[in-house]
């Protein structure tokens, strides 16, 4: 959009958003722009008049703060947003999150909006873009929309590049779990453990019985375990981004936690530390035999995929072991707050899912007990092969 006719000093440009941008040539001979935009042309004229007065008085200073009036294009704007983004915990984005955002930007947003000016974004363009993304990629589509939504929110609220957010599709940023994750039974868990190499058997047990994330369990070190006191300290996690190993804080503030090691696992932890854990307090419990570094997910998966078939659970993933532990804890009677602490979750949503699963299991057992009472005297209880006697008489 061309500049408006020059006033006695400087020029004013009306942006696609309807706001006005002021610019002028300073005493240094360089072109300068105001570090903010204006609601009306009159406001911009007043700003230029003030700048001219400063020049005449000899007190003018060039704008030193970054200017947002350059009318940035969508891709560089979002890229800058990603780099400067601060989480709710007042921390920079986690490396894996940052890499994921950049992938979404490059794959889904840039091909359509890469050369579009931010102030030119509008709801119709966003709606068309969203409708043309592959429906089979529901999670990626929701994540891409969420990224655009958040970046445009900043463009509206902080940088004043837009009057309103162009992302207005209800529910477009929400994702649903594609498939249900069925936890492993205790018997299946044991079959999987026995089918793994001895040095990796404890990975399976800790992932399940302590409900650890993969990045948490593979960053465990000798100093984090105290099996004699039944304590396990989780205060770090490891991720791999573009082949680089990055050790940092757990996924959330709640992720830093002290866990009770189930007593039946204590002998296994002691034996593993004696036979397989690297030497020294910082020795890794689980490490790559070739690299000596934290165990890679692909290395575990190579063995795990064989073991899960031995247990008749081809659908199970290593992360599914965490769901197994959460379900077992819920069935053991853990409250919502106890589950949150156990899982390292800062919200109640995940904990409630497992509590609901536990309640459903309790209702099923109660229903079966009533069926026993109304039918046969003996039945197999919950498939564990043990008979439950039903006494029909009253005492």
Q: Please tell me whether residue 226 adopts helix, strand or coil conformation.
A: strand
Alpha helices in 105-183 (DSSP H): 110-113, 123-132, 138-157
Q: Which residues of 138-175 are buried (b: 16+ CB within 10 A; e: fewer)?
A: eebbbbbbbbbbbbbebbbeebbbbeebbbeeeebbee
d(CA 388, CA 393): 15
Angle at 354 between CA 387 and CA 184, to 5 degrees: 55
C-alpha separations of 126 from 103, 120, 130, 229 in Å = 19, 11, 6, 57
- Amino acid 200: pLDDT: 97
Q: How many residues does this entry show for the chain? A: 395
- Amino acid 240: pLDDT: 84
The residue written with tokens 């379900």 in the block is 327
- Amino acid 389: pLDDT: 42
- Give the orientation angle of helix 297-310 with respect to helix 318-331, to 10 degrees: 60
- Per DSSP, 161 falls in state -
Angle at 373 between CA 370 and CA 378, to 5 degrees: 115
Q: Tell which residue, 132, 168, 151, 136, has the closest CA to residue 73.
A: 151
DSSP track, 172-216: TT----SS--PPPPHHHHHHHHHHS-GGGHHHHHHHHHT---HHH
Taking residue 372's Cβ as centre, other Cβ atoms within 10 Å add up to 17
d(CA 241, CA 371): 54
- Confirm whether pTM is higher than 0.75: no
d(CA 135, CA 69): 36
- Amino acid 378: pLDDT: 43
d(CA 390, CA 395): 13
Please state the three-class secondary structure of 26-90 as a single string: CCCCCEEECCCCECCHHHHHHHHHHHHHHHHHCCCCCCCCCCCCCCCEHHHHHHHHHHHCECCCC
pLDDT in tens, 199-240: 999 999 999 999 999 999 999 999 999 988 899 999 998 888
Q: Tell which residue, 383, 330, 390, has the closest CA to residue 187.
A: 383
Tokens read off for 330: 């819920």
Residues in the chain, pLDDT under 70: 1-8, 16-17, 63-70, 87-91, 176-180, 251-254, 346, 350, 355-366, 368-370, 372-373, 375-395
CB 224 within 8 A of CB 212: no
CB 262 within 8 A of CB 206: no
């Amino acid at each position: 959009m061309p500049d408006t006719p020059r006033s006695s000093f400087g020029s004013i440009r009306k942006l696609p958003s309807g706001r006005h941008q002021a610019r002028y040539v300073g005493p240094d001979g360089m072109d300068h722009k105001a570090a903010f935009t204006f609601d009306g042309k009159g406001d911009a004229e007043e700003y230029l008049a003030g700048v001219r007065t400063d020049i005449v008085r000899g007190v003018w200073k060039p704008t030193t703060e970054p200017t947002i009036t350059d009318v940035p294009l969508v891709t560089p704007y979002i890229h800058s947003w990603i780099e400067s983004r601060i989480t709710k915990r007042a921390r920079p984005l986690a490396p894996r999150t940052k890499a994921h955002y950049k992938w979404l930007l490059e794959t889904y947003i840039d091909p359509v909006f890469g050369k579009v000016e931010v102030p030119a974004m509008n709801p119709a363009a966003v709606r068309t873009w969203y409708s043309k993304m592959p429906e089979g990629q529901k999670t990626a589509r929701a994540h891409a929309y969420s990224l655009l939504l958040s970046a445009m929110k900043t463009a509206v609220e902080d940088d004043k590049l837009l009057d309103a957010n162009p992302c207005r599709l209800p529910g477009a940023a929400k994702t649903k779990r594609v498939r249900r994750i069925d936890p492993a039974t205790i018997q299946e868990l044991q079959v999987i453990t026995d089918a793994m190499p001895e040095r990796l058997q404890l990975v399976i047990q800790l992932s399940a019985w302590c409900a650890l994330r993969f990045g948490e369990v593979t960053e465990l070190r000798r100093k984090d375990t105290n099996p004699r006191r039944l304590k396990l300290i989780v205060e770090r996690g490891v991720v791999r981004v573009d082949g680089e190993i990055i050790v940092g804080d757990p996924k959330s503030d709640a992720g830093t936690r002290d866990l009770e090691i189930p007593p039946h696992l204590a002998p296994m932890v002691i034996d593993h530390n004696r036979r397989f854990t690297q030497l020294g307090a910082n020795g890794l419990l689980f490490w790559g035999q070739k690299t000596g570094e934290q165990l890679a997910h692909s290395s575990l998966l190579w063995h795990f995929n064989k073991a899960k078939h031995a247990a008749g659970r081809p659908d199970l993933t290593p992360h599914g072991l965490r769901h197994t532990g959460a379900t077992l804890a819920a069935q053991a009677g853990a409250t919502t707050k106890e589950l949150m602490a156990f899982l390292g979750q800062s919200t109640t949503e995940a904990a409630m899912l497992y509590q609901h699963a536990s309640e459903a299991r309790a209702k099923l057992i109660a229903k079966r007990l009533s069926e026993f009472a109304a039918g046969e005297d003996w039945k197999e209880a919950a498939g564990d092969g043990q008979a439950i006697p039903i006494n029909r008489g009253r005492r």
